[in-house]
Structure 1
Amino acid sequence: MEIPDMASLKLHSRPEVFDFEGVSMTRFFTDNWEKVKNFQARPDDILIATYPKAGTTWVSYILDLLYFGNDEHQTSQPIYMRIPFLESCFQEFSTVTGTEMADNLPTSPRLIKTHLPVQFVPKSFWEQNSRIVYVARNAKDNAVSYFHFDRMNMVQPEPGDWNSFLEKFMKGKNVFGPWYDHVSGWWEKKQTYSNLLYLFYEDLVEDTGREVEHLCSFLGLSTSVEEREKITKGVQFDAMKQNKMTNHVTIPFMDFKISPFMRKGKVGDWKCHFTVAQNEEFDEVYQQKMKKTTVKFRTEI
């Protein structure tokens, strides 16, 4: 994937957000839509689905290690090459789309990531009964992480200041749509689609080993205790933050001078950002938006 350096990238303007079938999107995720919609999934594919900044890279890396831990690509190929981002179409920066990368994956199973809300997922994943791992993160920490991500990622819309970003988040106007609809839409799907494992970011932080065990049992993997412990150690936040194959430092359209891609990885960091008034308003909106769903989150552990 050839990507120009930051200097030449500064010339590009940030993308505009527009309404795409009721969901806020940018052209980077809709330009290749026909191919995304008609993507041919396989029965052994594993789709890693999340709202942006909910632990996508973390769970991707865990799955990558569980399946291909001793592969030499582990140290030579960044994770975004090994686990393609299905709907991505960064034409100015790469000649290869996410669907092409997924089609050309030599691995079995293919690990593929998406941020699509459940209603946009290519129907072949359901038809093939592919396994899906969804990761959800509490809305407050998710909003903070998304804000810092938009600050440093030149292919995301300009976030503005924290206050205006939070207003936008509460209105559901971020790329990939409202957090509320995303997490509850996937939660509803879980009730009728048995090959979907719904994980919580907070559980992963609290006890990574336990969640790795959950993943192994969902995927039918007989990984030894030693192997699981080794993986659990390798995927701790600080280890991944230092690892050039997982920390996205090789993506030049992310400006690490503004913020690292992997910032804190904590539960409860929202307390350093929300004012009392913002928190009260957020809680009010949250109760309204989430009143019909049974999915429950923890904002601290």
Structure 2
Amino acid sequence: MEAKDSKLRPRPAITAVPQIEETDSKYKELILTLPKDEEERVKYRKYQGFWYAEHHLPGILAMQEVFKPRPNDVILASFPKSGATWLKALTFTVMHRDKYAFSHHPLLELNPHDCVPFIEFHYAFRDEQYLETLPSPRVLATHSACSTLPESIMTSTCPIVYICREPKDVLVSYWHMITKLEYLKEPPSFAQTFESFCEGRVHGGPVWEHVLEYYTKSLCNPEKILFLKYEQMLECPIDGVMRLANFIGCPFSEDELKNGLVEKIIEFCSFDKLKDADVNNNLKNGCFFRKATVGDWKNCMTPVMANKLDKITEEKLRGFSFTL
């Protein structure tokens, strides 16, 4: 059994973001016509109803135009800071459990975001050929809204797994992450990020529309999209991992269940294990690991803020048999 996949490699560190002037002309012309938010330290543009960081839009446009999924790809989708890191680790480990031993596993040497790359990231940084070097079956990820996904993904046979999280915890986790981004010389205050989040002016926002698109699509096509809640995964990880394995076509055998493999995978991919790995003890990867708890928003948000965000969430989800 090989120690690690020679095709996997750490993603490039982002010390500076591509400028719009460097963008291919066919994308630059469109991007410059999009509504923009000038107040943020990172420029955001509104595209197809959602706000995206301007430097990611060339990647999203290129992904829409040219990305071709393989039939056995698995796509992981999420709003930023909704549990993607954990979902990546679990899905990669479940899918490749016959390939890697726990003692010689890529997650011991690579961050989950290296093992499961974001598609639009590699297109934005003109590194898309790397995706083609990955052996099948690939596990790939995206923060794009469902309506922004390439038509090639939606019409393909590859399954999509979406994970969502309570908005107040998403906001707090999002703010803590952006304060650690190397290319942000003056990170925004929590109050500034709170107002932007409530108005939907964050990457992938508004969060409510992002979640609802995937939720309603999963109701219409449950064989295409598996909709997961982060809090339920934390509460019942065994049930969640078994649902995940069944959905992506990698069900556990009776012997695997009898030998406790599900529990071993959950332990191997636990927050503490991932956070304590040497590869994640640096600025580049450490920003993806903080607490991974439910309700941590209480340590950052005033009651007035929490009430405001709860009211917005309630209003946005009114009419749907769904709560966050």
Query: Given the two structures, how large is their TM-score scaled by the length of structure 1?
Result: 0.84
The residue that corresponds to 1:88 in the other structure is 121
Q: Is the 8 A contact 1:54 1:201 kept in 2?
A: yes
- In angstroms, what is the RMSD of aligned CA positions? 2.7
The residue that corresponds to 2:27 in the other structure is none
Q: Show CA shifts across 1:187-223 (max 9, x none).
A: 0110122221111100111121221111122223232
Q: Which amino acid aligns with 2:294?
A: V
Distance in 1 (alpha carbons) for counterparts of 2:85 and 2:281: 9
Structure 1 residue 31 and structure 2 residue 31: aligned? no
Q: Give the counterpart of 1:243 among 277, 288, 293.
A: 277
* Secondary structure, counterpart of 1:49 in structure 2: strand
Q: Which amino acid aligns with 1:105?
A: L
Q: Which amino acid aligns with 2:118?
A: F
Distance in 2 (alpha carbons) for counterparts of 1:19 and 1:159: 21
Distance in 2 (alpha carbons) for counterparts of 1:227 and 1:279: 40
Distance in 1 (alpha carbons) for counterparts of 2:79 and 2:172: 13
1:20 Cα deviation from its structure 2 partner: 2.5
Distance in 1 (alpha carbons) for counterparts of 2:92 and 2:197: 31
1:156 Cα deviation from its structure 2 partner: 6.5
The residue that corresponds to 1:212 in the other structure is 241
1:248 Cα deviation from its structure 2 partner: 7.6
The residue that corresponds to 1:110 in the other structure is 138
Q: Which amino acid aligns with 2:217?
A: K
Query: Pairwise mapping of residues 150-299 of structure 1 onto structure 2 (< 5 A)?
Result: 150-155=178-183, 159-193=187-221, 194-223=223-252, 224-225=256-257, 226-245=260-279, 247=280, 249=282, 251=284, 260-297=287-324
Structure 1 residue 48 and structure 2 residue 48: aligned? no
1:145 Cα deviation from its structure 2 partner: 0.5
Query: Pairwise mapping of residues 9-28 of structure 1 onto structure 2 (< 5 A)?
Result: 15-28=42-55
The residue that corresponds to 1:79 in the other structure is 112
Q: Which amino acid aligns with 2:113?
A: Y
1:129 Cα deviation from its structure 2 partner: 2.3
Shift of the 5–164 alpha-carbon distance from structure 1 to 2, 3 Å rule, reads closer
Distance in 2 (alpha carbons) for counterparts of 1:140 and 1:118: 22
Distance in 2 (alpha carbons) for counterparts of 1:45 and 1:156: 33
* Secondary structure, counterpart of 1:88 in structure 2: helix
After the TM superposition, list the runs of 4 or more consecutive aligned residues in structure 1 that deviate by more than 4 angstroms: 1-6, 155-159
Query: How many percent of aligned residue pairs carry the same amino acid?
Result: 26
1:28 Cα deviation from its structure 2 partner: 3.0
Q: Which amino acid aligns with 1:240?
A: L
Query: Given the two structures, how large is their TM-score scaled by the length of structure 2?
Result: 0.79
Structure 1 residue 133 and structure 2 residue 164: aligned? no
1:170 Cα deviation from its structure 2 partner: 0.8
* Secondary structure, counterpart of 2:130 in structure 1: helix
The residue that corresponds to 2:3 in the other structure is none
Q: Count residues in correspondence.
A: 282
